[in-house]
Amino acid sequence: MMHGSSTNFDYYKYNGLGNDYIVIDPNKTKFLMNGPIIRLICNRNFGIGSDGILYGPTLRNNQFHLRIFNPDGSEAEKSGNGLRIFSRYLKDTGYVNSDKFQVWTPAGANDIEIDGKGIQVNMGIPNFKSKEIPVAGEEREVIEERILIGDEEILINCVSVGNPHCVILSDELSESRVRKLGPILESNPIFPNKINVQFMKVINRAKVGIMIWERGAGYTLASGSSSTAAASVARKLDLIDDDVLVQMPGGNLNIAFDESGNAYMTGPVTSVTKGHFLEDFLNQINSLMEE
């Protein structure tokens, strides 16, 4: 399985449409991932800077397992961009030779396919059941449900694609509105595990635009699971067809649905850098190991 190079790097950095992640491989870099260490590494002033850490692979029963950490130290069940980036890492470093394989996250198995158009992840069948997203209250589908934020009434649509999302249809997309309402919605008490928030403008039946507030990360240029969630809601409301381009500030992803309702997300990954943690930084990390 291993190793492409005789030098083991401490970290690898990639981005998916400006959504940047650091891969830390526990087979190469030996320290524990705790909240203070994650926050330090992800900090853009004091660390390397990223929208999260992809910690893996750990191998169990010959399966590649991945853990995904947000920059605030919390853990995500799943990340579409994270899965694409991690799949590229597995390919780049010789863990996989095939163009088709699986990566496991806490949300389950994900089928990956790498081809000329980029990296495709089968994100599974979107789940609209409130208890499984989760959204508080009686069991229902949270579609065009009214909630009050301050004195503004907002229509929300909620779905899980392995992690929880709240999609709001908008005639116009505005970063300031996303930054204002995102954090309020993310930690609204009706979302017991907090939630990712997307504002979506439907352009036509083959194209939507979204802006994203990511749980545990904040305003984000692109997100694979957010794209999948927004497309799933648009499809549920019969606003799009089964193949849609999702436009984000960082770039575009393609979401396509098969007859069974599985959502396939396809998009690019860019490798940025790889390197070593230097002594001063390792001393800081070591001092945080005990916390």
Residues 104 and 34 in one domain: yes
255 and 244 Cβ atoms separated by less than 8 Å: yes
The set of residues, in sequence order, having a beta carbon less than 8 Å from that of 269 and lying 6+ positions away, is 14, 15, 16, 84, 85, 87, 88, 118, 119
Decide if 2 is inside a domain: no
Residue percentage of the chain with pLDDT more than 90: 93
Segment 208-258, tens digit of pLDDT:
999 999 999 999 999 999 999 999 999 999 999 999 999 999 999 999 999
Where does the pLDDT of residue 4 fall: very low under 50, low under 70, confident under 90, or very high at 90 and above? very low
Whether the per-residue pLDDT at 109 is higher than 50: the answer is yes
> What is the chain's mean pLDDT, rounded?
95
Q: 204 versus 6: which is more confidently predicted?
A: 204
207's tokens: 């194209």
* Section 179-207 average pLDDT: 97
Residue percentage of the chain with pLDDT more than 70: 98
* Section 9-28 average pLDDT: 96
How far apart, in whole angstroms, are the C-alpha atoms of residue 108 and residue 175? Answer: 33
How far apart, in whole angstroms, are the C-alpha atoms of residue 9 and residue 109? Answer: 27
Residues 196 and 84 in one domain: no
- Structural domain including 36 reads 11-123+270-288
User: For the chain, what's the residue count?
Assistant: 291
Residues 134 and 119 in one domain: no
Whether the per-residue pLDDT at 146 is higher than 50: the answer is yes
What's the CA angle centered on 59, arms 19 and 126, to 5 degrees? 50
Decide if 262 is inside a domain: no
Closest C-alpha among 66, 164, 151, 140 to residue 108? 66
Decide if 263 is inside a domain: no
What pLDDT was estimated at residue 291?
66
* Section 22-43 average pLDDT: 95
Residues 113 and 146 in one domain: no
Range ranked top by mean pLDDT from 8-12, 57-61, 150-154, 202-206: 202-206
Decide if 1 is inside a domain: no
Residues 89 and 134 in one domain: no
Residues 95 and 114 in one domain: yes
Residues 42 and 79 in one domain: yes
Segment 51-88, tens digit of pLDDT:
999 999 999 998 999 999 999 999 999 999 999 999 99
Secondary structure tally for the chain: helices H, strands E: 5, 18
Q: 5 versus 188: which is more confidently predicted?
A: 188
Residue 250's CATH number: 3.10.310.10
Q: 66 versus 6: which is more confidently predicted?
A: 66
CA 263 to each of CA 61, 70, 82, 232: distance values in angstroms, whole numbers, following the listed order: 27, 24, 16, 8
Residues 179 and 278 in one domain: no
pTM: 0.91
What pLDDT was estimated at residue 288?
93
Whether the per-residue pLDDT at 173 is higher than 90: the answer is yes
What pLDDT was estimated at residue 2?
40
What pLDDT was estimated at residue 164?
97
The torsion region of residue 218 among left (phi > 0), alpha (psi -120 to 50) and beta comes to left
Place of tokens 């590649």: 64
Closest C-alpha among 102, 98, 120 to residue 110? 102
How far apart, in whole angstroms, are the C-alpha atoms of residue 159 and residue 155? Answer: 14
The set of residues, in sequence order, having a beta carbon less than 8 Å from that of 162 and lying 6+ positions away, is 77, 78, 105, 107, 108, 123, 124, 225
Number of domains in the chain: 2
Whether the per-residue pLDDT at 194 is higher than 90: the answer is yes
Chain centre to alpha carbon of residue 106: 13
Q: 97: burial class by Cβ within 10 Å (0-12, 13-18, 19+)?
A: exposed
* Section 119-131 average pLDDT: 97
Q: 176: burial class by Cβ within 10 Å (0-12, 13-18, 19+)?
A: exposed
How far apart, in whole angstroms, are the C-alpha atoms of residue 135 and residue 137? Answer: 7
Residues 135 and 242 in one domain: yes
Whether the per-residue pLDDT at 37 is higher than 60: the answer is yes
281's tokens: 């930084």
Whether the per-residue pLDDT at 3 is higher than 60: the answer is no
Whether the per-residue pLDDT at 5 is higher than 70: the answer is no
What pLDDT was estimated at residue 201?
98
Decide if 21 is inside a domain: yes
Strands (E) across 187-285 are located at 196-204, 207-214, 218-220, 243-248, 251-257, 263-267, 270-275
